[in-house]
Homo-oligomer: A and B are copies of this chain.
Amino acid sequence: MSGIQFPKPDPSIIARRETIIAGLAALVAPDSLITAEDERRAFETDALTAYRRIPLAVVLPRTTEELSAVLAFLHKEGVNVVARGAGTSLAGGAIPQEDAVVVGVAKMARVLDIDYANRTIRVQSGVTNLSISGAVAAERFFYAPDPSSQLACTIAGNIGMNSGGAHCLKYGVTTNNVLGVKMVLVDGTVVEIGGPYLDSAGLDLLGLVVGSEGQLGIVAEATLRILPMPEDARPVLFGFPTSEAAGGCVAAIIGAGIVPVAIEFMDKLAIEICEDFAHAGYPLDVGALLIIESEGSPAEIDAELARIVAIAKDYSVTTIKESKSAIETAAIWKGRKSAFGATGRVADYICMDGVIPTGKLPQVLHRLNEIVAELGLRVANVFHAGDGNLHPLVLYNINDPAEQAKAEKAGEEILKLCVEAGGCLTGEHGVGIEKRDLMPFQFNPVDLQQQMRVRAAFDPGWRLNPAKVFPLEGRVAA
């Protein structure tokens, strides 16, 4: 990925830096404006750490009004803006540029309203994912999307990337759980999109905003769906001799129309890495593992698991181990959710995020392993199998340029494999900068141009997160 180009910074903006900072200082409290170089450096990258750029300044407004005033001012000054939640993006979506101001929502973190009767919560967009479930836990409700970074990541970032998580198979991803947003456009205009009801009149801009990676505006507030906690939930570990067998089992479960709350996949290397880190009780004598969670009443769980066990037997399952306690359940999920961090202890890696039709899991996993082996590298596969959302972690040594090039080659080949299988470049991590130049492999020029025309209907001057998502060549303005 070292080959990804950033646009050249605009020297005229950098020359006016003091004026721009003075203007911002008039709009927000002193602790909402970050200008010192060592403090700006904290915002130079996100979880895709291969690229770093120190932004012109960082602003962290406290209110929608401040956010609107900041964007209006930067628009007047012709300054690019990079939106930021918690900076946990895996695709470089929040990496700044030298001539851009980072506008972050970290200080907009209040819960505004909870309506249990209508099962909605309204929040400022800087609240963290997990704190939403926390705010409603006492009444036994929760917010469904659960990215592994949920302790840190913000709702603004979740909306920007259409984030998923292990438990999204049953409840859907962010787009299925957001009912409305208040969003600030590039010129400071505040628009309301959707609301606390299920349908919308006119054009459905809400689906467009979710997953738009900070290019259409900055979300200030969101109305989210909350769900009552199930009576009970039980994860079960299913061990298989091979990845292909586990993949075939997933395809058969989904093909039979069974929708457990989660079906997570780990191959042998991922099991070893996660077990070593989290002591989750994963079997080490299997080729691949599925974590399948069923929920409902104990009788409903028993009935669903019985159907799944019957299918697993057709795919040579060798181990079936049910969680027997809340402690075991927590350990099983801690192991899975620590996968990326635990892998980082073992090696450098690039994390892919392709999506494929679930029916093609066995073939795609087989070919994916071949691609990596042919390049002489190792891969740990740990992903949301029920959704067909692959996360191969290709391991390499970041200090060996030849190996890094091979890893990037493997990543590109894997994403092309996903597209060729009838799938898509990204599931939940976004395009960001990492997959920007691969977009033409998924979309023909006509399809890309139509997306860009819609983008331009929000941001005609390409001021919002401009280096991302769309290849730098061939851009369409308003």
Contact surface of A with B, Cβ cutoff 8 Å:
115-120, 141, 162, 164, 173, 175-176, 185, 189-193, 195-208, 210-212, 215, 227-228, 251, 254-257, 297, 299-300, 303, 355-360, 387-389, 422-428, 431, 435, 439, 442-444, 446-448, 450-451, 453-458, 469-470, 478
Q: Give the complex CA separation of A227 and B200 in angstroms.
A: 25
Contact B359 A426 (CB under 8 A): no
Query: How far apart are A295's CB and chain B's nearest CB, in angstroms?
Result: 12
Structural contact, A199 and B355, CB atoms closer than 8 A:
yes
Task: Give the docked Cα–Cα distance between A139 and B387 (Å).
Answer: 22
Alpha-carbon separation in the docked complex, A388 to B16 (Å):
53
Q: Is the CB of A450 within 8 A of B388?
A: no
A453: B residues at CB distance < 8 A: 457-458
Which B residues are in CB contact (< 8 Å) with A201? Answer: 424-426, 431, 435, 439, 442-443
* Inter-subunit contact B202/A427 (CB<8 Å): no
Copies per complex of this chain: 2
Smallest Cβ-Cβ distance to A208: which chain B residue: B208
Is there contact, CB below 8 Å, between A255 and B303? no
Q: Is the CB of B257 within 8 A of A119?
A: yes
Cα A201 to Cα B256 with chains together (Å): 28
Name the contact of A431 in the complex, choosing from B202, B359, B423 (C-beta under 8 A).
B202
Q: Which residue of the partner chain B has the closest CB to A189? A: B446
Tell me the bound Cα distance from A380 to B353 in angstroms: 51
Which of A176, A202, A208, A257 gathers the greatest number of chain B CB atoms within 10 Å? A202
**Residues of chain B with a CB closer than 8 A to A358's CB:** 117-118
Asked whether, in the complex, the Cβ of B202 is within 8 Å of the Cβ of A443, the reply is yes
Q: Are A427 and B119 in contact (CB under 8 A)?
A: no
Q: With A198-B427, A355-B198 in contact, is A212–B207 under 8 Å at CB? A: no
